Amino acid sequence: MPLATINGIQLNYQVKGSGDLVVLIMGTGSPGRVWELHQVPALVAAGYRVCTFDNRGIAPTDECADGFTVEDMVADTAALIEHLGGPAYVVGTSLGARVAQELSLTRPDLVRRAVFLAAHGRRDTLQKYLSEGERELDRKGIVLPDSYRAAITAVLNLSPASLVDPMAAQDWLDIFAFSKGETTPGVRAQQNLDDFGDRLPAYGRITVPTLAVGFADDRLVPPTLAAEVAKAIPGSRYVELEDCGHYGYLERPDVVNSVILDFLSGS
């Protein structure tokens, strides 16, 4: 991925394909290359030029460990789209959905259409307690055993449908057990963006075409929150996908990709 000075930071990004620009925005703690598994190939095959990038907080993009705001991340994405000759179609998941939602609100000139996976304009009580618990573990330096951490990750992020088959469940657990590294200062700064109030009234001013996607078995961002976002935005669409947890775009990529492609094409 090339590094470029974008919005005053060094930002790591990659572009594949040709055609209309699509920018993919990843969620908390994950690099942009996660999109490469399923979404980038589908979008490139459909004739799009696709940009993935590491949000601030995720090396080798500047970690900005002293802290930053969602507004900073929105400005990063806006500057990247301008750097690439936008406007662009924008797809974000989880924290990336929040960035895409705020970008659609503040810079509609840069957004042709936007898809919000695991959309949310506020947090519910369980999310608040879970986030605070994770921060407390980090403050106390408590490291969970790999097997237990993998199991908790699976329960929180996957649909039960993905764990029915013992071999498939073992594959997921192995991935989670070996893929989680130390929480870096940059990731910690992303995790601290959880408390943001209620943005739903503001989303009533979004004018670009949008699609909010809820994952039916999402425990981290319940689909009711995604439905609220669609209801708040005039003319927005809402789709709820079955047998999907928070990682629905990895669990059922063909279904998620079809929803994204249909909406971007105006269907």
Query: Out of 54, 76, 217, 218, which one is annotated catalytic?
Result: 218
The pLDDT score that the predictor gives to residue 246 is: 97
**267 belongs to the catalytic site:** no
Distance, in Å, from the CA atom of 53 to the CA atom of 2, rounded to the nearest integer, reads 10
Distance, in Å, from the CA atom of 116 to the CA atom of 15, rounded to the nearest integer, reads 21
Q: Is 215 helix (H, G, I), strand (E, B) or coil?
A: strand
Residue 169, pLDDT above cutoff 80: yes
Mean pLDDT of all residues in the chain? 93
Q: Are strands 9-16 and 3-6 parallel, antiparallel or unpaired?
A: antiparallel
Interval 130-146 mean pLDDT: 85
Higher pLDDT, 178 or 206: 206
- Window from 38-47, 65-74, 99-108, 232-241 with minimum mean pLDDT: 65-74
Instruction: Judge if pTM exceeds 0.85.
Output: yes
Interval 178-198 mean pLDDT: 80
The pLDDT score that the predictor gives to residue 179 is: 78
Which CATH number is associated with domain 3-125+186-264? 3.40.50.1820
Interval 220-242 mean pLDDT: 97
The residue length of the chain stands at 267
Query: Out of 94, 104, 131, 159, which one is annotated catalytic?
Result: 94
Residue 173, pLDDT above cutoff 80: yes
The pLDDT score that the predictor gives to residue 138 is: 81
Residue 239, pLDDT above cutoff 90: yes
Residue 181, pLDDT above cutoff 70: no
The pLDDT score that the predictor gives to residue 57 is: 93
Share of the chain above pLDDT 90, in %: 77
Distance, in Å, from the CA atom of 165 to the CA atom of 236, rounded to the nearest integer, reads 36
Where do the structural domains in the chain lie, given as residue ranges?
A: 3-125+186-264
Tell me the DSSP string of 117-146: ET--SS--HHHHHHHHHHHHHHHTT----H
Query: Out of 30, 54, 217, 246, which one is annotated catalytic?
Result: 246
Cβ-Cβ contacts under 8 Å for 240 (sequence gap 6 or more)? 213, 214, 215, 216, 223, 226, 227
Residue 267, pLDDT above cutoff 70: no
The pLDDT score that the predictor gives to residue 180 is: 66
**246 belongs to the catalytic site:** yes
* Confidence class for position 229, pLDDT limits 50, 70, 90: very high
* Confidence class for position 143, pLDDT limits 50, 70, 90: confident
**83 belongs to the catalytic site:** no
* Residue ranges with strand state E in the chain: 3-6, 9-16, 21-25, 49-53, 88-93, 111-117, 210-215, 237-241
